[in-house]
Amino acid sequence: MHPRRHRRHLVWWAVAALPLGFLGIFFVWPLLTVLARGLWDGGFDWAGTWAVVVDPRTADALVTTAGLATLGTLGSLALGIPAAYVLYRLRWRGQVTVRAIAAVPFVLPTIVVATAFTALLGRSGPLAFLGWDQTVWAIGLAMVFYNTSVVMRIVGGSWAGLDPRRADAARTLGANRRQAWWHVTVPALAPAVASAASVVFLFCATSFGVVLVMGGTRINTLETEIWLQVNQFLDIRAAAVLSILQLVFVAGILAASAWARRRRERVLGTRTVDGTRPATRSDVKVVVPVLVALGLLLAAPLWALLSRSLKVGDGYGFDHYVALFTDPPRSVLPVSVWQATLNSLTTAVIAASVATGLGLIVASLLARRGRKAAVLDAIVMLPLGVSAVIVGLGMLLTLNRTVLGVDLRGSWWLVPMAQAVVALPLVVRTLVPPARAIDPRMRAAAGALGASPGRVWTRVEWPLLRRPFGLALGFAFAISMGEFGATSFVARPDRPTLPTAIYRLLGRPGAENLGMAFAAAVLLAALTASVMMVSERMRTTVGGDL
Amino acid sequence: MTGLRVDNVVVRYGGAHPVTAVDGVSLTVAPGETVALLGPSGCGKSSLLGAVVGIVDVDAGQVVWDDEDVTDVEVHRRGFGLVFQDGQLFPHRSVARNISFGLEMQRLPATDKRARVLELLELVGLDGLGDRPVTDLSGGQRQRVALARSLAPQPRLLALDEPLSALDADLRGRLAIEVRDILAAAGTAALVVTHDPAEAEVMATRVLRMRDGRLA
């Protein structure tokens, strides 16, 4: 090989070693350990693995996972598709604001959503009379709350770009409205719907916090079953086998999703037209019901959460918020919720710094496309396909010991590292498009003006990536603040984060504890939402493709 | 002072469909001389220019300046300037700070830097526009800034890659004359790549034709 090319190659891999090393220690090694524990027990133990697979609890968890995901997906489509029409295909004043409000649930931490629905449907909640507490209907509704905006965005994007003249052409050929809809519009939208459905199905099938909090003891999915096996039955082996099942399950969904996406690209082609039209008087009968349904779904749980966090006895007051600053009884929480909040803030700062620091390195390396960039990209995206619960379990199994002379047992360092693993893929997806938008010839121009590769980075690339970096930092911070799946495995009981503290409070008897849980959830929601709002301002025209 | 000597340079691109973009080209550019490389698109002229400047790897042959082999010298140490077709100005810097980029890299004192920037703004006819954001400029103005930016650190050789192709025909004709005069005033050796014979005639003291990776 050419000596200069060879040296650049070496430098590239030397820089890549940092993110790869991080993922190796905190992701790949823990993941492989989980796989090994699932299949080995002193030797290759197929019988032991099989015993877990055929256990009735496992079948139950699998059926529940698939059933809940189906329910959540169907519900999200039922509301999301009409919402896509109203908010994307039609044009009306105030639409942009409504879209932004409709996207709010997606940035809320799962524990907040679960707590809000508990406030709405649980005992002494405004809708307690429905008797939906700890049922699949409640969980399904929470999933719809979460994922309607996902359907809306994917289908809406496709619908807005659909050429209306296609349906007109069908009409001129003698099709009535209904026939034009069925034979032209539906087939054109189908790939987007399929793609949205598979993404939502994946989110529902891996939504750990919502099921753990709202399912009580009766409803268990693969993920909560993993958690139960570790924390209640202390059966690591079973948890590892379930993790393998979960990985296979998710891989199946991802394959289906990739297939649907390819089809969508094929149908849409590259041509996009403006297919939107102004809303008319006759659209009112569609627009109003959709907006009312969206509004109720969004407002009811959040309103229930807020009002119950303020409800004291028969009146209202800030008592539950004040209680966040006091030390509760040891049996409830070892520290005050305020202390847990500080833990969360510290952890999130570290996790976000690690994730964005590594993400920036990865994005700079991926700026130039090529074979080694594709390899690195694939490796960095891996955590996206592995549930946070498995990441947490794996770290619990591998890193609860001394590594390279550092005693990690029970170390709180594991928490930010786990959160950084979870946030890294999203950080990379936020930073890569702006990094790739920098013309390689601009770097060449700087080089020809005498800037060394290092100075090209500090003087040209970094100034152009600063704003996307701020956006990614905010994303990573919000993700870490709300992260529950992996954190619930590695957070020490005496050093809870805000989400794990809320979970503890929800599980303790007493109106006081419940009230504190509601107040804490409001605090967490306010913290993450404000961080997201500030960082959204950093979005530039070349922003990420989230 | 013998200037630039390119000796049997070969540039290959690997990948699924390997191509030899430059197939053993030799040429010279004397100090103060402007040589044009004229040829259709895809003939390898831009690759050759990249190899001279140091942003494209040379697979065989030599790039020599004043008897010093610079083939393996990195682009930022070579002292050759480069102007792209679309300027590639830094969008986060003003006109003046674009021009001063190369001077910053040389760690020139602030007063010298300011003086040199003013001198170049005048040379390319953009007096008083130093504080403008580059995003506010017209296409012709941008190319003037790109030219000034490349000339500021006083490169031994200036490489220009289709410097006027992005502009409309009328402006191109006028600017070609201006570029020639600016290069003459700066006394810099220059290598211009273009597909427009008229442009080559106006700007260059000598025209070389290139086809399929070789000089015709």
Residues B43 and B48: their CA atoms lie apart, in Å, by: 10
The total number of structural domains in chain A stands at 2
- Is residue A132 a part of any domain in this protein? yes
Let me know whether B171 and B72 are in one domain: yes
**pLDDT category, A254, cuts 50, 70, 90?**
confident
User: What single-letter DSSP state applies at residue A329?
Assistant: P
Q: Let me know whether B164 and B150 are in one domain.
A: no
pLDDT band at B191 (very low <50, low <70, confident <90, very high): very high
Does B148 share its domain with B166?
no
Query: What is the rounded distance in angstroms from the CA atom of residue A443 to the CA atom of residue A128?
Result: 62
Same domain, B119 and B53: no
User: Residue A463 and residue B106: Cβ atoms within 8 Å?
Assistant: no
What's the alpha-carbon Rg for chain B, to the nearest Å? Answer: 17
Task: For residue A395, tell me if it sits in a domain.
Answer: yes
**Statement: residue A505 has pLDDT above 80:** yes
Q: In what order do the strands lie in the sheet with B214-215?
A: B80-83, B157-161, B189-194, B34-38, B206-211, B214-215
**Whether residue A137 sits in one domain with residue A6:** no
Residues B75, B6 share a domain: yes
Question: What is the domain extent for residue A349?
Answer: 1-54+315-546
ipTM: 0.88
Number of domains chain B contains:
2
What is the average pLDDT across A523-537? 88
Query: Is the predicted pLDDT of residue B21 greater than 60, yes or no?
Result: yes
Joined together, the tokens standing for residue A390 give 């498995």
Are residues B93 and B121 located together in one domain of the fold? yes
**Residue A239 vs residues A33, A183, A394, A414, B184: alpha-carbon distances, Å:** 12, 48, 10, 20, 77
**Is A488 or A267 the better-scoring residue by pLDDT?**
A488
pLDDT at B35: 94
A63 compared with A538, residue with greater pLDDT: A63
Q: Does the beta-carbon distance from A444 to B55 stay under 8 Å? A: yes
Same domain, yes or no: B19 and B74: yes
Contact indicator for A206, A372 with CB cutoff of 8 Å: no
The answer to whether residue A527 is domain-embedded is: yes
**Domain holding A132: CATH number?**
1.10.3720.10
- Same domain? B112 vs B9: no
pLDDT digits (tens, 9 = 90+) for A277-330: 888 888 888 999 999 999 999 999 999 999 999 998 888 999 999 989 988 888
Cβ-contact A260, A194 below 8 angstroms: yes
CB contact under 8 A, A447 and B105: no
B92 closest CB neighbour out of A3, A444, A464: A464
Mean pLDDT across the stretch A402-425? 81
Please list every residue in chain B whose beta carbon sits closer than 8 Å to the beta carbon of residue A450.
Answer: 76-77, 79, 102, 105-106, 153
Tens of pLDDT along A156-189? 988 888 888 878 888 888 788 888 888 888 888 8
Contact B90 A442 (CB under 8 A): yes
Cα distance between the two ends of chain B: 27
Residue A306 within any structural domain of the chain: no
Of A444, A461, A443, A448, give the one whose Cα is nearest residue B92.
A461
Give the mean pLDDT of A389-393.
91
Last residue of a domain, one of B154, B185, B205: B154
Confidence of residue A405 (pLDDT cuts 50, 70, 90): low
According to the model, what pLDDT value does residue A264 have? 62
Q: What percent of chain A has pLDDT over 70?
A: 95
Which residue of chain A comes nearest to B91, CA vs CA?
Answer: A464
From B154, B174, B191, give the residue that closes a domain.
B154
pLDDT score at A265: 63
**Partner residue opposite A450 with nearest CB, options B50, B76, B159:** B76
On whether both B15 and B61 belong to a single domain, the answer is: yes
The answer to the question of residue A115 being in a domain is yes
CA–CA min distance A4, chain B (Å): 7
Is residue A479 predicted with pLDDT exceeding 90? yes
Confidence band, pLDDT 50/70/90 cuts, at residue B174: confident
Q: Are residues A484 and A396 in the same domain?
A: yes
Q: Is A514 helix (H, G, I), strand (E, B) or coil?
A: helix
Enumerate the residues of chain B whose CB falls inside 8 A of the CB of residue A469.
Answer: none
Contact A447 B84 (CB under 8 A): no
Q: How confident is the model at residue B121 (pLDDT cuts 50, 70, 90)?
A: very high
* pLDDT-derived band at A446, boundaries 50, 70, 90: very high
Q: What residues contact residue B191 under an 8 Å CB cut-off, 6+ apart?
A: B4, B29, B34, B35, B36, B37, B49, B52, B157, B158, B159, B160
- State yes or no: pLDDT of A536 exceeds 80: no
- Residue A117 pLDDT: 95
- Residue A543 is predicted with a pLDDT of 35
A539: its two tokens: 């979005």
- At residue A542, the pLDDT reads 40
Which residue of chain B comes nearest to A2, CA vs CA? B59
pLDDT band at B182 (very low <50, low <70, confident <90, very high): confident
Q: Which domain holds residue B15?
A: 1-79+157-216
Q: A96 with A213, same domain?
A: yes
**What distances in angstroms separate CA B54 from CA A463, B48, B77, B78, B159, one per listed residue?**
24, 10, 9, 8, 11
* Virtual torsion, Cα A61, A67, A70, A75, nearest 10 deg: -120
Q: Are residues B70 and B97 in the same domain?
A: no
pLDDT of residue A540: 56
Which pLDDT value is given to residue A416?
Answer: 94
pLDDT range class, residue A546, cuts 50, 70, 90: very low
pLDDT, one tens digit per residue, over A372-387 is: 899 999 899 888 888 8
